[in-house]
Structure 1
Amino acid sequence: MSSELSRVLRDLMQPGAGVLMPGCANALAARVIEACGYKATFVTGAGIANTFLGVPDVGLVSLSELVDHVWAIRDAVSIPIIVDADTGFGNAVNVHRVIRMLERAGANSIMLEDQVFPKRCGHFEGKSVIPRAEMVQKIKAAVDARTDEALMILARTDARASHGLEDAIERANLYREAGADILFVEAPLNREELAAVTAQAPGIHICNMVIGGKTPVLPSQELGAMGYAAVVYANAALQAALAGMKKVLTSLQEKGSVEGLEDAIVSFQDRQRFVDHDRFQALERRYVAAAE
């Protein structure tokens, strides 16, 4: 199934398509994204760090932890998944292994970034990037490592913050020439910079709408018109979930109940639908009841 979904993703990722792609940090979020009708999801490294470890996005998630999350998400949904692999957990040799592991876990596209390890969230201060030549070798290693040519390598540059937009665009062009299928210039500061990225670095681009981040949050239609293939909201669902948890738990603490907050809490029945409870009941009837 994974190879077929990689081809589906390739068909989706067309310049100007502006496909909305929410991020997920776990299998439950991926199920909700699929149930809401989205065509693909982005496995967010920041989200995994926040939800699984309760820490900021500063490079603390291990490769084995990431692989476990990807496997669970792949098992839960039938839409393509793009996986954030941070800096590739080391040099080009490490990247080769990372691609093999994530491909086997079910990734349909794998993103590598050119930050110095340990990385930081793309909208944090104090980022640094590795030399262009080093990142080019990482991309070449990634391309060579994949066993399915349909799997897409996504190259991200964080050079805008430390080296300026011109350097970031030059890097994007170099990364495309090295074999990257998708390009991602992180954290442009305004509409003009967003438009310049796609105009000056031909190829398939995604952009990341970070609520409260450095890049203006623009409609997907406008970004599609600029040439972006996909518009990622990597942590919108996570931030919404945090807001909901804070609201409900604060009220519970203050009032001793959740009365009046019924609309903020998914029903028990909907909760079971999101985790596919009916399928497991059917399996129980088929196998367990039959043995009694």
Structure 2
Amino acid sequence: MLYSTVTSATKRQLLRERLATGELLRFPGAFNPLSARLIQDKGFEGVYISGAVIAADLGLPDIGLTTLSEVATRAGQIARMTDLPAIVDADTGFGEPMNVARTVQTLEDAGVAGLHIEDQVNPKRCGHLDGKAVVDSQTAIKRIRAASDARRDPNLLIMARTDIRAVEGIDATIDRVRELVDAGADAIFPEAMANLDEFAAVRAAVDVPVLANMTEFGKSELFSHEQLASVGINIVIHPVSLLRIAMGAAERGLDVLAAEGSLNPVVPDMQTRARLYELLDYAAYNTFDTSVYNFTLSVD
């Protein structure tokens, strides 16, 4: 009922412990708090909060238009609704090193278990678009050092994302990830790898966890969890997948409604009222205080 009873500190500690096992942790992307509940219910290990999804939810492209307050608000709404650890996309940290420090503390207060800061030039753009530009090594290092120094909970996972592969190639990526780990990154997110061998090369270059981004319609092939685990990847995210699935279904449903004047043909594909009530835990609210909550559940 209401929010998760697992504290943010506990979620961070548990994430660290799970990462230490070396197993592959699966983090589907939640596009709202209810979808985070569904991710937990289906037995995944964590929830990812995508900057691209937050932007799309606001009707904006993923080109650095969202603000820290918008990201922190949505991150907090999602993180408090699940017992799972949540990792959030913090873009470039929303500015220079002092802004990065504020971003880290703000997102820490929002209850996330981890976040990633990237090395793109401000304003950033989606990691799978062409025409990206990255900052020099010293600027990237300063961002990660600021992020690491700013956290108050030492278990908050500070992840460094690098987009340099698309700009300068895999050799530059290896150099960059090593520099970022030396700067204090707890984990590495190499964006837009071309193949499984490149993921393996990054994995071999550092001794911290490595994340793989399996986003549809992007630069990377959609490798299976088994394939990623075989080269030692520790976290896999599917950042926009649930949003794409939901919006695809919504578009098809609206087409049916416009063409036929009724949604009867797609009702069998809808989540039932009973299932929605189960995810929302209506029953717990009903039994909490029957003098206040005395409604009768109907699942027809």
**Which TM-score tier does this pair reach, normalised by the shorter chain?**
over 0.9
List alignment gaps of at least 5 residues for structure 2.
1-6, 295-300
> TM-score, length-normalised on structure 2?
0.92
Name the stretch that deviates more: 279-288 or 263-272. 279-288
Contact 2:287–2:293 (8 Å) recurs in 1:
no
CA distance in 2 between counterparts of 1:263 and 1:179 reads 51
CA distance in 2, matches of 1:208, 1:286: 48
Equivalent residue for 2:298?
none
CA displacement 1:68-93 (0-9 Å, x = unmatched) = 11111122111100111000000110
Mind listing any 5+ residue stretches in structure 1 that lack a counterpart? none
- The corresponding residue for 1:110 is 115
Q: Which position in structure 2 is the counterpart of 1:227?
A: 232
Structure (1/2) with the larger helix percentage:
1
* 1:189 paired residue among 173, 189, 194: 194
The alpha-carbon deviation at position 168 of structure 1 amounts to 1.3
1:41 aligned to which of 44, 47, 62: 47
- The aligned counterpart of 1:11 is 17
CA RMSD in angstroms, aligned pairs only? 1.5
Residues 120-173 of structure 1, C-alpha deviation per residue, up to 9 Å, x if partnerless?
Answer: 111011111111111111111111111111111010000011111111121111
SS at the partner of 1:20? strand
Query: What is the alpha-carbon distance in structure 1 between the residues aligned to residue 162 and residue 71 of structure 2?
Result: 21
CA contact (8 A) 2:48 2:87 kept: yes
Greater relative contact order, per chain length (Cα 8 Å cut-off, separation 6+)? 1
1:98 is displaced (CA, Å) by 0.7
CA apart distance, 1:262: 2.6
Q: Is the 8 A contact 2:31 2:242 kept in 1?
A: no
How far does residue 54 in structure 1 lie from its aligned partner after superposition? 1.1
Residue pair 1:15, 1:205 contacting (<8 A) in 2 also = no
- Alpha carbons of 1:15 and 1:208: their partners in 2 closer, same or farther (altered >3 Å)? farther
* CA deviation profile, 1:154-203 (whole Å, cap 9, x unmatched): 10000011111111121111111111101011001122222222123332
**How many percent of aligned residue pairs carry the same amino acid?**
35
| Paired position in structure 1 for 2:263 | 258
Q: Which stretches of structure 1, 4 residues or more, deviate above 4 A after TM superposition?
A: 286-289
Alignment length, in residue pairs? 288
Q: What TM-score, normalized by structure 1, do the two folds share?
A: 0.94
Aligned residue among 9, 22, 31 for 2:28:
22
Paired AA for residue 24 in structure 1: A
Q: How far 1:259 sits from its partner (Å)?
A: 2.2
Please give the alpha-carbon distance, in whole angstroms, between the structure 1 residues aligned to 2:273 and 2:85.
Answer: 28
1:59 aligns with 2:64: yes
Structure 2 CA distance for aligned equivalents of residues 114 and 37 of structure 1: 32
**Could you tell me how far 1:25 is from its partner in structure 2?**
2.4
Q: Find out whether 1:2 has 2:8 as its counterpart.
A: yes
SS in 1 for 2:216: coil
